[in-house]
Amino acid sequence: MIKDAPGARDYDWWLLAIMAAICTLGVIEIYSATHGSALVGMHTRQLRWLAIGIVLMFVFSRLDYHLILDQAPILYIVGIAALVAVLLIGHSRFGAKRWIPFLGEFFQVSELVKLIIIIVLARFFAEVRTDELSLQDLIKAGLLVGVPLVLILKQPDLGTALVLMPMLVVGAFLAGLQWKHAAVIVIVGVLMLPVGWHFLKPYQKERVTSFLHPEEDAKGSGYQVLQSKIAVGSGGFWGRGFGNGSQNQLGYIPVRYSDFIMSAWAEEQGFKGVLLALGLYMALLLRLVQNAQRAKDRAGMFLVMGVTAALGFHVLVNVAMVIGAMPITGIPLPLMSYGGSATLFVFLAIGLVMNVRLRRFVN
């Protein structure tokens, strides 16, 4: 019935080309940001992660996504167990317990959990047979996301926890979310904001307040945003040139090779470079939506759109943070920011998309 025999031409080579372009920008900027510092050589490590990611992506794409979806309940349990394990025995870095050692590297379990939630939600929404999403199903989906979300918040990792939300929102929307439900959720959400405030860690509160009142915290996270904005703004239209951004080269941009890489890119390459980078991201996301539109079944579509939601949210929140339009949440820019777990997540997610695409004609 399901023949596992897709050919090389069935891969989305356009999508891969866009990804390759984005990764190239990332590696260039990582090199520029670190070549003169103690972090020199980071770009080669990023290249290694990219290589591993590509291999994993192809491997992952060969495995029929229906088989993966079949195992969704088990994956979910494994994911929750891993999150609990991190909280119990995980490795603390930068004041948060997010890492577990694996094959000599430290991995962020929450990145894997993001992938699992995409799969679990796809399975869940694919099983909803009605045209309109019932409140009952909506609540079930909410609970499915809620448990890992709370566990990730406990690490604490607000950024990753937040990424689960657009997956749920987009999934529910495509599964036929009713407007009245959406309205109720929005209202309840707004009302719950002050309650949620109490659960934020002090540094998270500080980030939010400094976002709202940057002038009161010029040396804390407000300082970071300000420096990022200075970098972006001083780049002008044409940019200050590769390796010439003073904000980047002198270290004024916080974590310029990772979360704030867009800031470094914008400084050195200017608005024209931003246009190129954001153009590539838009192409990437639209290409993903196109893949969803051409999926063979709803399950495949939900998978692809889950990935789209996650990546789109990453791009939005990261880039908005760089220009000071959103508070700092510690979400990396997919494919450009340096990072092992985050890069591997993106490639595995794209692997899922390829998986769906490869099987669009198979019956």
Partner 1 sequence: MSYWFRNDNRLPQERLAAASYVIVGMITLLLFGFWKLQVIDSDKYGQLAERNRVRSIPIIAPRGRMLDRDGRVLVDNYPSFSVILLRDDMIAVEKSLPAIADGLGLSLDDLHEQLSNTDKLPKFQPIVIKPEATPADVAFIESHRADIPLLEMLMVHRRRYLPDGFMSHASGYVGEVSEQQIEASNGKLRPGDFGGKSGLERQYNDLLVGTDGMRRVIVNSVGKEVGRLSQQEPIPGKQIQLTIDYDLQQVAEDALAGKKGAIVAMDPQSGEILAFASRPAPDPNDFAIRVSKEEWQRLNEDEDHPLMNRVIQAQLAPGSVFKIVMATAMLESKVPPENFTAFCPGYANFYGRMFKCHIYGKGGHGVVGIHSAIVHSCDVFFYNVGMRMGIDRISKYAKMLGLGSKTGIDLPSEEPGLVPSEEWVQRVFHHKWYPGSTISVAIGQGAVTATPLQLAYMIGGVANAGVFKQPHLLKDAQNVGEVKVPLAEDTVEQVTQGMYGVVNEGGTGGASRLEGIEFCGKSGSAQVMSNTQRQRMGKDKKFKDNAWFVGYAPRRNPEIVVSVLIEEGEHGGAVGGPIARDIIKTYYEKKDKKTHGQTTVEYKEKPFNFGDGSEKKEKPTPKSAPKPEEAAAVVVPAAAKKATEN
Alpha carbon of residue 323 to chain centroid: 18
CA distance 34 to 40: 5
Residue 198, φ and ψ in degrees, nearest 5? -65, -25
Is there a contact between 265 and 29 (Cβ–Cβ < 8 Å)?
yes
Six-digit token string for 42: 């980071």
- Work out how close the CB of 149 gets to partner 1 at its nearest, in angstroms, rounded to a whole number: 22
Distance CA 157, CA 304 (A): 24
To partner 1, the closest distance from the beta carbon of 45 in angstroms equals: 23
The distance from CA 149 to its chain's CA centroid, rounded to whole angstroms, is 15
Q: Which is nearer to partner 1, 70 or 105 (CB)?
A: 70
Q: Which is nearer to partner 1, 154 or 294 (CB)?
A: 294
CB of 115 to partner 1, least distance (A): 19
What is the nearest approach in angstroms of partner 1 to the Cβ of residue 143? 20
In terms of CB distance, is 151 or 353 closer to partner 1? 353
Q: Which residue's CB is nearer to partner 1, number 137 or number 157? A: 137
Residue 258 CB, nearest distance to partner 1 (Å)?
A: 16
Q: Return the closest-CA partner of residue 338 out of 30, 52, 21.
A: 30
d(CA 180, CA 341): 38
Residue owning tokens 């893949």: 291
Q: By C-beta, is 14 or 102 nearer to partner 1?
A: 14
Minimum CB separation of residue 203 from partner 1 in Å reads 16
CB of 218: closest distance to partner 1 in angstroms?
Answer: 5
- Alpha helices, H only, the chain: 13-34, 42-62, 65-70, 72-89, 109-126, 135-153, 158-174, 179-199, 202-212, 221-235, 246-249, 261-293, 298-322, 340-358
Amino acid at 139: I
Note the residues at the interface with partner 1 (CB under 8 A).
Answer: 66-67, 69-70, 123, 126-127, 129, 170, 173-174, 176, 216-219, 227, 229-237, 246-247, 250-252, 266, 270-271, 274-275, 278-279, 281-282, 285-286, 289, 292-293, 295-299, 301, 305, 308, 312, 315-316, 319-320, 323, 325
Which residue, 50 or 322, has its beta carbon nearer to partner 1? 322
Taking the least distance from each CB to partner 1, the nearer of 36 and 146 is: 36
* Cα-Cα-Cα-Cα dihedral sign, residues 348, 350, 356, 361: negative
